């Protein structure tokens, strides 16, 4: 059984952007997101260590109509892929919980709509 099978919450694909505060980086995308965690894809190499905690600003896509919000996350793993790095994370805190929950609800709705219409 893979670690993906052990997840308690469905992860939704997203096209949101992110900024990891305190780390000089650009070109970070949120690959997927759930109420408990997700995965970032960072262009280039970044000095990220599993176990580190960081404040992250999430910038949802404009189509969502949802504003930026912050999360406090713990990096759980990293994988180098060509000239980028994937970073798995666990969400420790969501100071603007309502915006975060609205965004996850939006991603759920979008996922269901795409599935219903085979998009």
List the chain pLDDT tens, one digit each, 119 residues: 344 445 566 788 998 999 998 876 778 999 999 999 999 998 877 778 889 999 999 999 999 999 999 999 999 999 988 888 999 999 999 987 899 999 999 999 998 876 666 65
Domain at 76, CATH number: 2.40.10.220
Does residue 75 form part of some domain? yes
C-beta separation of 14 from 30 below 8 A: yes
Q: Which residue, chain included where needed, has tokens 């713990």?
A: 74
pTM of this prediction? 0.84
Give how many domains the chain has, as a whole number.
Answer: 1
Domain region containing 97: 3-106
Task: Report the alpha-carbon distance of residue 71 to residue 61 in Å, rounded.
Answer: 16
| pLDDT at res. 2 | 42
pLDDT at 1: 37
Q: Is residue 115 part of a domain?
A: no
- Please check whether residue 119 lies inside any domain of the structure: no
Whether residue 98 lies inside any domain: the answer is yes
Which run of H or E residues covers position 56? Answer: strand 53-59
């Amino acid at each position: 059984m893979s670690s993906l099978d052990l997840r308690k919450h469905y992860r939704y694909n997203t096209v949101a952007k992110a900024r990891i505060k305190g780390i000089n980086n650009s070109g970070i995308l949120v690959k997927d997101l759930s109420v408990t965690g997700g995965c970032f894809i960072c262009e280039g190499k970044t000095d990220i260590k599993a176990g580190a905690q960081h404040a992250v600003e999430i910038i949802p896509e404009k189509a969502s109509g949802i504003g930026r919000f912050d999360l406090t996350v713990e990096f759980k793993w990293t994988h180098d892929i060509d000239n980028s790095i994937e970073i798995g994370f666990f969400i420790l805190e969501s100071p603007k919980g309502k915006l975060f929950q609205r965004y996850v609800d939006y991603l759920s709705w979008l996922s269901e709509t795409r599935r219903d219409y085979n998009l």
